[in-house]
Amino acid sequence: MSQLLARIKNFLREDNDLHEEVQVLRSRIDYLEHRLINYYRNRWDVLDCVADYLVNAELLGDYAEFGVYKGTTFGYAANLFHSLFRQMRFLAFDSFEGLPEPQGIDKSPEGFSSGFFQGQFAATEEEFCRHVMAAAPHLSPERLVTIKGWFDKVLTPEYANKINLQHLACVWIDCDFYESTVPVLQFITPYLSVGSVILFDDWRCYRNLANFGEQRACREWLENNPQLVLNEFISFGFHGMSFTVASVPEVR
């Protein structure tokens, strides 16, 4: 068997054209494996659909992700969107210290464990930027904005002004806890347009119960903002759910 393999290798080495074809084929197989078997594949699939949707909707605005970790989802989004939407900025919000200590209903959701713990998903800002620039090598760095801090402290209207936030075309919320999601939803409200996409990565992470995590935060947000209406969009994986905004509060 090893002799046969050696003969094939020699044969390929001698035939340059064939050697090149094999290399191309190998890189395609590597790409397909990476794309189809990867843990993140359902996130990448939904982002592909969102890209089509945003092009069709002719919607302008930034991409914002709340909870970015090492930037695997963020980098894919940036690589996909940056050439389609030339004005789009890519806003990364994170403590860059991992999850905060679970508080209140996040601590012990009705006797079962959410599995999330303090310090989980810690990655530095530098590590995040390195991963994103590797995933989206043609993204010009000035379109990447990182905002470091705890959401309940940093997500203020003053900070939104500081980064000149105008419109959000696509918002990815992936911060695991109810307590982390509440300030995010409050923060994004004035910047949503009819048609904006909101993706909740952890929608079903608490046994798909409506009283916990992102589902609870979203329900309360809608109750507090009666003019805000969401339409169901795409469900992804066992965990994620997305919506498009159907109506926004009139006054900013």
Ligand X SMILES: C[S@@+](CC[C@H](N)C(=O)[O-])C[C@H]1O[C@@H](n2cnc3c(N)ncnc32)[C@H](O)[C@@H]1O
- Residue number with the shortest CB distance to ligand X? 67
Strand partners, 144: 90
Among positions 46, 47, 50, 68, the unique one binding ligand X when judged by CB under 6 A: 68
How far apart are alpha carbons 52 and 170 in whole angstroms?
Answer: 12
Residue 217: CB atoms within 10 A of its CB come to 23
Among positions 67, 102, 195, 213, the unique one binding ligand X when judged by CB under 6 A: 67
Binding span for ligand X by CB under 6 A among 25-33, 79-87, 90-98, 227-235: 90-98
Q: What is Dmax (Cα atoms) for the chain?
A: 76
CB of 215 to ligand X, least distance (A): 16
214 in contact with ligand X (CB under 6 A): no
Count of residues engaged in binding ligand X, rule: CB under 6 A: 19
Among positions 79, 114, 146, 180, the unique one binding ligand X when judged by CB under 6 A: 180
Residues 6+ apart with CB under 8 A from 144: 78, 89, 90, 92, 129, 132, 133
CB of 79 to ligand X, least distance (A): 14
Burial of 148 (0-12, 13-18, 19+ CB in 10 A): middle
72 in contact with ligand X (CB under 6 A): yes
203 in contact with ligand X (CB under 6 A): no
State which residue, 94 or 214, has the beta carbon closest to ligand X.
94
**How open is the CA angle 79-81-83, to the nearest 5 degrees?**
85
State which residue, 44 or 243, has the beta carbon closest to ligand X.
44
How far apart are alpha carbons 173 and 185 in whole angstroms?
Answer: 9
From residue 92 to residue 111, the character string flagging contacts with ligand X as x (rule: CB under 6 A) and all else as - is --xx--xxx-----------
CB of 15 to ligand X, least distance (A): 43
From residue 38 to residue 57, the character string flagging contacts with ligand X as x (rule: CB under 6 A) and all else as - is --------------------
151 in contact with ligand X (CB under 6 A): yes
CB of 179 to ligand X, least distance (A): 7
The pairs formed by 47-54 with CB atoms below 8 angstroms and a separation of 24 or more are 47/73, 47/76, 47/77, 47/80, 48/80, 49/234, 50/170, 50/197, 50/199, 50/234, 50/242, 51/80, 51/81, 51/84, 53/197, 53/233, 53/244, 54/81, 54/84, 54/85, 54/169, 54/170, 54/197
Characterize the bridge pairing of strands 240-247 and 192-200. Answer: antiparallel
Among positions 102, 143, 146, 174, the unique one binding ligand X when judged by CB under 6 A: 174
117 in contact with ligand X (CB under 6 A): no
> What residues make contact with ligand X under the rule CB under 6 A?
65, 67-69, 72-73, 94-95, 98-100, 121, 150-151, 174-177, 180
